[in-house]
Structure 1
Amino acid sequence: MADFRKLVIAALAAGILSGLLLSVLQYYLTQPLILAAEQFEAPATGSEHEWQPENGWQRFAFTMLFNGLSGFGFALLLSAAMYWHGTGGYWRGLLWGSAGYLVFFAAPSLGLPPELPGTDSAALLSRQAWWLFTAASTVAGLYGLLLSKNHGLQIAGGMLAAAPHLIGAPHPEIAQALAPEALQQRFVVMSAFSNALFWLSLGALAGFSMTKLKL
């Protein structure tokens, strides 16, 4: 029970700090691109939108809250994985953070890259199902490829990791976007960069906190 409390503390510290880092990165790198894309979207939509945070401190506060909560959840997963595997520390945390980036961002983004407002997408349920399938397959695939010495499991891991991409992500029959393609491409690059720093800091801070708490 004492170790569980320490895991929660380590995850909370790593999640809050990494969530704050991601919020700052998004504020300077991706939010301006979103606001620019919304300018293309506004003339094309005549209906009123539901309530949403205003640009400025309100939007940043909600972003920071969401990123902090998400960071805590992901940090708890990483901390539990490191604890179960019997490894901690800064450098081990970086490796686990890199794995988290592959599982939760890089692999799903190969089929469903980050999108700006005004971009046509497939049905939400089908995209969510493919994202979950991809994340789960990538977890199982990385385990077979990197953490198993059994050749059969390694082959199965590679097949599992590739399966979602062989099946293909759901997309609309005719893909259209209101924002220019250059803006969309820059958004994808900045999102990938921001999330990479988020996951690396999340893993490193979780591993470092676990060492300090003697886990």
Structure 2
Amino acid sequence: MFLRFLWVGVMAGILAGVPTAAIQHVTTTPLILAAEFYENSEASHHAAAHQFEVINANVILVHGDINETEEEAWAPDNGLERTFYTSIATIITTIGYSLMLLAAMFLAKGKISPRSGLIWGLAGFTATGLAPSLGLSPELPGAAAADLTARQMWWGGTVVATAVGLWLVLRVSKIWAIILGICVIGLPHLIGAPQPVMLTSEVPSELAAHFASSSLVLHAIAWVFAGCAVGFVWQRQEKAAEG
């Protein structure tokens, strides 16, 4: 059973990840590249401004080339190499989604099908994408942001609270469970997400808004594809076992 579980999750993740990566390549990736252009331009401007310092209007101190003193972290080159690594990362992500959805559907002891996978996929998107975006929208490189640890803690708490709340509302479905579930879902938003001290950004607001909406749509597509693929592959496995 474990090998079957693992095989279904991996195959479903690949089936969902390939089209998701293709959609990502023509939607969010160009926006990220454009934001990096603004970010690098701003960084170069600051580096040039601090490279020379004039003292008493006639003494110039050279601080040195920042590329010589700071070793840059490795990153894939733009083009085919970056597309390849980004696509691999996306496929690995959808494999993770598929395994989580399959585990949830298995524990719920419901029928595993493309239709049920679609519903579970939408729930997964709601918990990990839609609900957290009410406090922390998807961000481009160079955008203003609060402390990373604080954001991660709030995001994780929101995901758990939303998942628990949805389970109470949709699976338990009793009056007390529905009321409690709604309260649990709303709790992280009453606490509030961590926000940056200064709302400054190196990228145009239009670009940031486009990226936020595109990222949410892509996130939903990944979860829906993963859920439907899990149901499809699981049913194929059942038919093969019966045959």
RMSD over aligned Cα atoms: 1.4
C-alpha separation in 2, matches of 1:43 and 1:76: 41
* 2:76 paired with 1:53: yes
> Aligned to 2:98, which of 72, 75, 79?
75
Give the CA deviation at 1:61: 1.5
C-alpha separation in 2, matches of 1:117 and 1:81: 33
Q: Where does the alignment leave 5 or more consecutive residues of structure 2 unmatched? A: 48-65
Structural mapping, 1:11-50, within 5 Å:
11-45=9-43, 46=47, 49-50=72-73
Instruction: State percent identity of aligned pairs.
Output: 35
C-alpha separation in 1, matches of 2:107 and 2:164: 16
What is the match of residue 195 of structure 1? 219
Q: Where does the alignment leave 5 or more consecutive residues of structure 1 unmatched? A: none
What is the match of residue 180 of structure 1? 204
What is the match of residue 96 of structure 1? 120
What is the match of residue 166 of structure 2? 142
C-alpha separation in 1, matches of 2:118 and 2:27: 23
C-alpha separation in 1, matches of 2:114 and 2:218: 20
Q: Is the 8 A contact 1:19 1:68 kept in 2?
A: yes
Query: Deviation string for 1:65-118 (max 9, x for gaps)?
Result: 211222111211101111222221111110011011111111111111111111
The TM-score, its normalising length taken from structure 1, stands at 0.94
C-alpha separation in 2, matches of 1:43 and 1:84: 50
Q: Is the 8 A contact 1:79 1:210 kept in 2?
A: no
The TM-score, its normalising length taken from structure 2, stands at 0.84
Give the CA deviation at 1:143: 0.6
